[in-house]
Structure 1
């Protein structure tokens, strides 16, 4: 269904390009339809972000290990994010708090696959940065992120951006532009 919508939009855009050259405008009913269709097309990742996430996926199951950024031994959260981005030539911080000044801040509503989510530590009432993860997917407004957690999964896993993580959310930053 999504592919059909995208193909339809592309065909309509090509048709519009021809109309624009003739200085005629698109009828209002079609403009409204285009707006609705385009608002439902999922946010997609850039090629680099897709490659970055494919690479990160290969590390699902690597155990959590405090203060480590070595896939053979394990990762803490920032070690994992640092390892993934560094593998693609990006200079990113090694500690979670330093991610607050890394990249370009983005509103959560504008965040895309490959952006970094920054959270408090495990206690959401203590508003101090203590955890990071990478947006893994955004479908129908639902975000999943990949991270190394000391929690139940105790390692690299993909997690829903649920109420618990929303209570801990501090900011999002874009590293890949």
Structure 2
């Protein structure tokens, strides 16, 4: 039954992405079917859905896959697809949720970063796609050299220096 549910979700996502004028995903990823808890199944589904948008162009102030995404637009779009409301602006994450310890990071948690130029305000967010504490990987809409939805390492100097906190969207 779970295999059918996951396959159906993937087919819906691919069908929605093939509409005229939309940015098509670089490739469809296989949705994991083996999970241990309903929450983990949802977390895995969130990452599989987010990965469908790998390579989608960066577009400031957009949460529209036809145009592209900014960081918070991407996070907002992905979670809205699963009925989870999150802030549309990265600054809205500053006082949201309880900060997790690195040992508590899970796939699907949201990483919150200070701005690139302004170290006093929140300026970037992404979704943990491989949980490993401060060495976790995350998927995000990058305005850096990639200018697209990509996967980066939290442990890289540019992100470690800007890291503010990690929160669980399931505990807000």
Q: TM-score, normalised by structure 2?
A: 0.72
Match of 1:138 in 2: 131
Q: Which has the higher helix share?
A: 1
Match of 2:32 in 1: none
- Of 115, 119, 122, which aligns to 1:126? 119
Match of 1:116 in 2: 110
Higher relative contact order structure (alpha carbons within 8 Å, sequence separation ≥ 6):
1
- 8 Å CA contact 1:116, 1:173 repeated in 2: yes
Alignment of 1:1-177 (within 5 A): 46-123=40-117, 126-139=119-132, 142-161=135-154, 162-176=156-170
Give the Cα–Cα distance (whole angstroms) in 1 for the partners of residues 143 and 168 of structure 2: 24
Give the Cα–Cα distance (whole angstroms) in 2 for the partners of residues 76 and 169 of structure 1: 18
Number of aligned positions between the proteins: 133
Larger Cα Rg: Structure 1 or Structure 2?
A: 1
Deviation at 1:160, TM superposition (A): 1.0
Deviation at 1:148, TM superposition (A): 0.2
- 8 Å CA contact 1:50, 1:114 repeated in 2: yes
Q: Which has the higher strand share?
A: 1
Which ranges of structure 1 fall in alignment gaps of 5 or more residues?
1-43
Match of 1:33 in 2: none
